[in-house]
Amino acid sequence: MASSITGSVGQGGINRAEDVRTVQELFNKILSAPLPLSDQVSDELIQAITNFQKAFLSRPDGRIDVNGRTWRELTAVAEKPKKEEISGSVGQGGQNSPQDVQVVYALFNKILSRPLATSDQVSDELIQAIRDLQKTFMSHPDGRIDVGGRTWRRLTTPAGGIGKAVILSFDDGPAPTSALHSILDTLDRHNIKAEFYVLGQEVNSNRSAVKEIANRGHKVQNHSYTHPNLAGLSKSAVRKELEKTQESIKKAAGVTPTKIRPPYGAGGWPPYDRELAAVAKELSLTIQNWDIDTEDWKSPKGIGPAKRAMIDRQFQRKQHQSVFSVLMHVLPDTADDLEDFITQLKQWGFTLAKP
């Protein structure tokens, strides 16, 4: 859809209320959603937009306020300005046409390009935030806005986390226990409860660690006894793997698992492996695979910045879902990266839900 801008939005002195609302709405579309920290977006851009957002305070009536002064006051509303019109999907991300991108670019130029003077009308913080924001944008001849080689379309594509939830899950524990304790401490700091899919043979060697998982309010679940491919086993062999793990967890932590996550996810996707499904039903276990695989065991190990774009793409592909089970493992690198990863999920807009 073609988009057009007329009038004098951002020039100051002759803008009417409708123009002010147009600017306000467009800024909200572009800047309100958290931007993902990944190789898709530079840290400089994120910091610039964060600073810009912090300079504005949103009021209940929808006005934008800077140090007690409304956006209308800052743009000097007058009685008879020209009409302004914006159409299309500007700022919504993912489906913006070149015309839409040019509209955003043009409007940003109108608002931000002229030098801002320090006065009692505009705070020093706002001026610096806008200048920082300007510095991070570079125009292309074709009208795109590019930050470090990334187009505006990608920058305005939300990660899809607003109003959605994630459940953190950790496989293959409880060993190594040093990594486990670090993970538990990080979860405690954020008041997050998670699921731990543990191996029965590791439980028997680390009973106190399994008990600690339960005592801290997390769910201890079944991940088999020896980590075999359950889809390739007979029903009796599957039962042995699951039953022994159930018994080990009950003995160590005093809790009975309610879920089974088969190693490698084998047989755990619909249509489920027949033998696995039958045994799970007999033991009152729900088969629970994951929605998002962090691939934290692959090089580079962990869930650091190098993995963020891959994880973001998985969320993007499953935007129809409202709750996601995120797969990680009890590993030292994952433990080290968990603090920042939780912060990233929150910046993407996700709520950390209880399992």
Could you list the active site residues? 171, 329
Residue type, 309: A
Gap between the Cα atoms of 346 and 65, Å rounded: 25
Q: Which two tokens stand for residue 51?
A: 């600073």
The label of the residue with tokens 């040093």 reads 178
Gap between the Cα atoms of 179 and 334, Å rounded: 8
